[in-house]
Amino acid sequence: MNPLIRALAAAALLAGAAGCGMLNRSPVPEPITPIQKATASPDNPDSAILADFKARLEKYVRVQRALLDKVPISENATPAQIRARQETLAAQLRMIRKDAKPGDILTPQVAALFRRLINPELKGREGRDTKRALEEDDGTRAHVWLRVNATWPESEPLTTMPPNILANLPQLPEDVEYLITDERHLLLRDVDANIIVDFIYHAVR
What tens digit of pLDDT does each residue of 144-153 get? 889 999 999 9
Whether residue 2 lies inside any domain: the answer is: no
3-class SS letters over 8-57: HHHHHHHHHHHHHHHHHCCCCCCCCCHHHHHHHCCCCHHHHHHHHHHHHH
How far apart are alpha carbons 104 and 55 in whole angstroms? 11
54 is a domain residue: yes
If one counts every other C-beta atom within 10 angstroms of the C-beta of residue 168, the result is 20
Residue 29 domain flag: no
Domain range for 87 is 34-200
Note the pLDDT of residue 17: 46
Residue 187 gets the label, from left (phi > 0), alpha (psi -120 to 50) or beta, of beta
Residue 60, in any domain of the structure: yes
Residue 5 lies in a domain: no
Q: What is the pLDDT of residue 136?
A: 66
CA angle 82, 86, 90 (to 5 degrees): 170
Whether residue 1 lies inside any domain: the answer is no
Q: How many domains does the chain have?
A: 1
Query: What does the pLDDT profile of the chain (205 residues) look like in tens digits?
Result: 554 445 444 555 444 544 444 444 445 555 556 666 666 666 678 999 999 999 999 999 999 999 999 988 888 899 999 999 999 999 999 999 999 999 999 999 999 999 999 888 778 777 777 777 777 666 667 788 899 999 999 998 898 888 888 988 999 999 999 999 888 899 999 999 999 999 999 998 7
In a domain, residue 40? The reply is yes
| Residues 9/13/14/15 CA torsion (nearest 10 deg) | 100
Give the model's pLDDT for residue 201: 94
Q: Is residue 109 part of a domain?
A: yes
